[in-house]
Amino acid sequence: MESINLNNIDIPFKLVKKENKNTYFYFKKSGYIQINQSKYQSKKSVMRYMNQNADKFALKYKIRCLGNDADLSKYQYLGKVYKIVISNIQEITIDNDNLILHAPTTDRNHNSYFVFQKRNMLKMLNDLKRKYCNNKYININAITLKTRYTKTRHGSCNYKKQNININLNLIKYEYKFIEYVFLHEISHLIHPNHSSNFYDLLKKLCPNYKELKNELKEIYR
């Protein structure tokens, strides 16, 4: 996937050559523009058209792909809002004292954001594994921890393979929610369903799970 900078916004796009008479632009909710390129137009002419209409494309991208209230100068991480400062760097660094995130671009689909999120999420999950490795209810020494973006689930557990997967989108929210989802998923190692026995076990590991569950449901989008 490529990107184009319009009005100081890095906009990812996917160019697909079609037999169409006209070129069509589709603003995807997953955060990019799909361009179905006409057989009568060159890529150069398509890029020129987008630059000539930069205001229009940037506004539509923010509304349709990012949401009306998208602010590309800010970044939400572990329940706090950081100011993004563009720097000549390859990897994202974070200044927790001043709430500043140094990044090579504001483009959330840029690989640097994914690397930053995944590295930090896996570190937190492994810290949680160490924290609960000696709990008296579940043996978690053999679990494998994974993380990826998911649309509907906060996490999943394959109790047969001992795999725990946590939704990478949760990195936006407070650490307590990541811990709650982690405890929820490891409880499935003993009870694969959501039976009363499952919730009894979860309550032993996380006494305020109901409060956290309802709070997460309220804030998660």
- pLDDT at residue number 158: 96
- pLDDT at residue number 186: 98
The mean pLDDT value of the chain amounts to 91
Lowest-pLDDT range of 36-40, 72-76, 97-101, 124-128 = 72-76
- pLDDT at residue number 155: 96
pLDDT at 69 exceeding the cut of 80:
no
| DSSP conformation letters of 46-92 | HHHHHHHTHHHHHHHIIIIII-TT--TTEEEETTEEEEEEE-S-SS-
- pLDDT at residue number 67: 63
Q: For the whole model, what pTM was predicted? A: 0.69
pLDDT in tens, 6-30: 887 888 899 999 998 999 999 887 7
pLDDT in tens, 105-150: 888 878 999 999 999 999 999 999 999 999 999 999 999 999 999 8
Domains with residue ranges and CATH for the chain: 2-66 (no CATH), 74-109 (no CATH), 112-219 (3.30.2010.10)
Task: Indicate the burial class of 202 (C-beta count within 10 angstroms; 0-12, 13-18, 19 or more).
Answer: buried
Asked if 32 and 65 touch (Cβ cutoff 8 Å), the reply is yes
Instruction: Identify any residues that bridge with 101 across adjacent strands, giving them in sequence order.
Output: 84, 94
Tokens found for residue 82: 């950081």
Contacts of 71 (CB under 8 A, 6+ apart): none
Length of the chain in residues, anyone? 221
pLDDT at 55 exceeding the cut of 60:
yes
- Bigger pLDDT: 76 vs 7: 76
End-to-end Cα, the chain, rounded Å: 25
